[in-house]
Chain A
């Protein structure tokens, strides 16, 4: 028996227990899986298929472990077509789910730069010039050009605007009411238990340890939960998914190369706001050409406004919080938002590799579902419904295997779960989207052309490109260049006046200072205390680890510092960044925003299992 190595505590007698199914991570994918399972059980709880194999005479023992300290702490404002969700809940009434509403209108906008600080190519500046020249005649208003139609592949009409935290809470309460499923929040899973190529369960994180994981007073060894089936739905930066990838490998040619950081505000609109619930805006062009944005209007005058900063934005100063503040101040948005109040914010990494990053979907004793299984469709910009669908596909497959009395082997899971997934709309969409975003590696214009080509031809045409590993996508600052000087100046500024590093970088690049008003425009540190605060339960080890300190010392970019959503990673005096667990929102951006690699494959930052993170329900 061997488990994935835990450097902090390896030789300890651990408590263990046996269950039938252990799920890791509670999000839309696991929600779909457990909903499918419980619905079948509720229809006939006497069905012998649902008798526990590990506790005869009892119903199936199904446990789900979630890192966040509440199942409502999911972070995402979402617009989704919702076909899989509606399929699970045919009588779905969005009014029963806080922050949910049907999509009522949708538009796509190209945003010009009213400030003049963004890094626009000559081609883009020329396009901007002509748009400005055309003015209202060509549909320009408030420095925004609204596309005359929303491309079909982006269209979410008939879908739903959701707050994922609230959706998870709604799903979770129904699951727990069934009595079949237990969902344990505040319980991070540190690693899968792997024997040979078989996953035999999971190990919960140790408690009562210091920052490095060494036992201290009140040490409690993480339990080994042995399971017939381990359902891995811990998202793109989850410790279990990463460990399985590292230990068992990815399919040939596959890698997690493309990422984005999604960061958003939840803002309460002023009482006289004309924005109707269900309004959906997509944008591109500002604050940087590479940064896409969104605005979704929920009921009760709440709106989710956010941006996606992609890994193919090669600039090492890429950052999110300050950019988001500039984004909401764009004239096209600000006229609606300026009298609003910030209620909460959040951030998460999105795995945007699609099929290119798809892991083995199943193996002996385990199955992968959701975003971490490569289900997100990067052409349609949709992930929640796809994740839910993969969960339901696994649910149906598991019920089939239970009824047939077959074990959860790779062969059986491939014949049931993987086969269903391959034959489904999720797979068809993923294939269409497979190469849709390649062009972005060569710039925003080629990227948009490539995306349009793939979208309009259902993936038959696309632009080919080599996509390097994330740590190679960062373009280093050239020595003694203008950029290098900015980096040094920013470091000095950050040290001199206590401001954050990314804040200083953007100021030095010509972005105007943010006019803080204490209500909507607040410092990033204040944002950490708004809406839901960041939680870090004491007694857990640091989950962000710098593998080789010498590489950090030699690193000139320090993108991990610039990108950190919660300012949890800061400049260290010795050149190795400091990590403060108490500020980490668990977005995982540091994992793919490190320009160094000790082994040529992984970045120099290890993102392990941790407890806590953002604790906000209005998300």
Chain B
């Protein structure tokens, strides 16, 4: 399983960089290496999953903060 964690949490920046790398590989690929391709698909699917989870966490945390700030108005 591919997880980029920082202090127990997924590091979104790192996972996004890796995803960008995978996409870039597919875009630049001229050889027909499906074995490598399916491997990247697996890794990419895992990275997408953990990135979404982390981003959802960040979004929830952000919403909480925003709600707190709005209370003070």
Q: Bound pair: A and B? A: no
